[in-house]
Structure formats: structure tokens, C-alpha cells
Amino acid sequence: MSIIEMVLIALVYLGIFSVAGLFLVLLERRVAAWFQLRIGPNRVGFQGLLQTMADALKLVSKELTGTEKADKFLYNLAPYFVIITALMALGVIPFTKDFQAFDINIGIFFLIAISSIGVIGILLGGWASNNKFALIGAMRSGVQTISYELSVGLSLLTMILLTRSLQLSEIVEVQKNGWLIVQGHIPAIIAFMVFMIAGTAETNRAPFDMVEAESELGAGFHTEYSGMKFAYFFLAEFINMFLIAAIATTVFFGAWLSPFGITESIPWLGVFWFLLKTLILVFLMMWFRWTFPRLRVDQLLTLEWKYLLPINLVNIVIMAFVVWQNLIIQF
């Protein structure tokens, strides 16, 4: 592959990245309005469709302010850690059979590894800001992300027992005989539920948003960020939400495969099925946010270490038994 092709692919993914971010912010605001019996954005453009574009232009034009005693190098570096890791993870997601930038044989492992680097950006941002609220937010982020990554990893490991492959394209191929959530039945459903709870926590979204608890910490780890640097953190949160939903779609719901193979003869519809499933899961995560109250830090860690982790470990054993005894449901 030539350098020009690589640059073009990178530009395509940057386009997807920015459009997805803007769309998801608008979707969040409309969903929030719907849950709270409000109208939501409805002034800028048709039905408020250009509202997030206006917000983006406002953030681009804002002055980049910071604290005098901040560690300038780390303070400026932090947003790029968060945004680049999200973009790298997007590169291995299989939108269709032919639309995947980077199909590697350790796909799932790569996703787990890359997603864990993003937390370094949050820790650096909070620590380098020279602000106590930001530092508390960053420390909370560290403990929360590291804790919930265990459950994300173990729930994916449960499904790898079924597929016997870490490569995302092979995981999708296996699902031509039925989506993995059906093939693995009870342990697969448990793994999916744990994955969605832990994934929501890992993206620092309510009810797990201890990292930027507005009522306690100002704005948490990004209190001292403004303009585009703040926008990077904000955008990365929404892209990470999309990534969690996309991984769940790929591993549990057959990625681009249609239900019962109804549109297998029309390959270009794969993107439609992939995005439909992903957006349903994104809506589920938004539903969490606007339904449940925020947890305390101790409740947050109790949920992971005393409930989700033991459930996950037992579930792996159950899945191993299901695979060993060949109790898989296939069509």
C-alpha cells in the first residue's frame, strides 16, 4: 500500500470521526429532550440539525486559556492521547466485509490495549492542570477505568471461547450460523449485559461520570481546558461511546450481517445493518444516562469488584462448559 493510499484512508476515517462526533452530540441532546419532555435543539438549521456545527465553530474560535503554573507540555499533550487512541480503535472496526482499515489477527486484544491508553490522557490532563478539582477527577478516572476494563476484557474473553479467534473478521464469519448472543445463549446474554454496564463506566458516562461530577468537581479533569482542547475531550467521549456500541455489535450481534440473512445478496446494505445495530446500543447507553442517578465512588467500585467481576469469572467457566459440551445454538 502506497503512502498516498494510507493518507487517503486516514482522511476518510478522520471524516467519519468528526461527522460521527457531531451527529452523536446532536442525538444525545434530542434524546435528553425526549426523555425530559423538552423540545431540544430546534433553532439552527432545519429541526436544529446545524446546532452542533455552530457549537463546533464556537469552540474553534474560543481562546485557549489555562493556568499559569500548569505543566505546559503535558497539559497540551493530554487531549491528543484521548483523541488519537479513539481514532486508532476506529481503524479496526469492521463496518462491512470490505470496509475495514486494519484487519489484524489480534483485533479484540488490540482494541482492549488501545482503549486503555486513553486514560493516560485524562490522568495527564488532570494532573498537569495544577487544579485540585481536576486532579481529583483524574485520579477517579484512573481507578474507574482500570477497574471496569477488567469486566470489559473478561466479557469479550467469554465470547472468544465461542469464536476461538481474536480477529474481528473471523468473529463475524462465525456468526453466519447465528449471532453469538444466540449461539452462546445464557452465558452470552450475561456477558453482553456486563459488557454494556462496564463499557458505559469506561466511557465515563452517567451514572458512572464520577470523573467530571459537575456537582462536586466543577467540570472534573477538564476544568482548566477551553476551546478546541476541551472539544477534543468532549468529542472523544462520544466516539468512545460509539466504539463500545460498535464492539458489542461486532462481537454479539453479527456486525454487518442481516437478521436471518435476509439481505445477504445485497452486500452494500451491510453498512446500514451495522450502523442500525450500533445506534440502537448507543441509544441504550443514552437511556442509562437520563434514567439513573449518579453513583458514589464507593458504590461504583463495589459494583465492579464485588458484583461484575465475580459474575464474569463464573460466566467464563459456564461458557467453557457450554463450548466443551457443544451446547451451542446454530441455525
With respect to residue 172, please indicate whether it lies within any of the assigned structural domains: yes
Residue 209 shares a structural domain with residue 125: yes
Per-residue pLDDT tens, the chain, 331 aa: give them. Answer: 788 988 898 898 888 888 899 999 999 999 999 999 998 888 888 888 899 889 889 988 988 887 788 888 999 899 999 999 999 999 899 999 888 888 899 989 999 999 888 888 888 988 898 888 888 888 888 888 889 999 999 999 999 999 999 999 999 999 988 899 999 899 999 999 999 999 999 888 878 887 766 666 677 788 888 888 888 888 888 999 999 999 999 999 988 998 887 888 787 888 999 999 999 999 999 999 899 888 888 898 999 999 999 999 999 999 999 999 988 888 7
The domain in which residue 200 lies consists of: 68-324
Burial grade of 224 (CB within 10 A; 0-12, 13-18, 19 or more) = buried
**Run of H or E residues at 3:** helix 3-35
With respect to residue 73, please indicate whether it lies within any of the assigned structural domains: yes
With respect to residue 62, please indicate whether it lies within any of the assigned structural domains: no
- Distance from the Cα of residue 282 to its chain's centroid: 9
Nearest to 56 by CA among 103, 27, 23: 23
Number of separate domains in the chain: 2
pTM above 0.75, yes or no: yes
Residue 8 shares a structural domain with residue 99: no
Q: 258: alpha, beta or left, given left = phi > 0 and alpha = psi -120 to 50?
A: beta
Residue 141 shares a structural domain with residue 280: yes
With respect to residue 56, please indicate whether it lies within any of the assigned structural domains: no
Compute the distance between CA of residue 174 and CA of residue 232 in angstroms, rounded to an integer: 36
Determine the residue type at 185. H
Give residues with Cβ within 8 angstroms of 104, minimum separation 6: 92, 110, 167
Residue 45 shares a structural domain with residue 76: no
Compute the distance between CA of residue 98 and CA of residue 111 in angstroms, rounded to an integer: 19
CA dist 313 → 112, 287, 318 (Å): 18, 27, 9
Nearest to 112 by CA among 247, 16, 233: 247
Residue 26 shares a structural domain with residue 112: no
Q: Locate 29 and state its grid cell.
A: 441532546
Helices 227-252 & 132-163 angle (0-180, nearest 10): 20
Residue 238 shares a structural domain with residue 92: yes
For residues 272 and 113, the answer to whether their CB atoms sit within 8 Å is no
Residue 131 shares a structural domain with residue 256: yes
Residue 229: per-residue pLDDT? 87
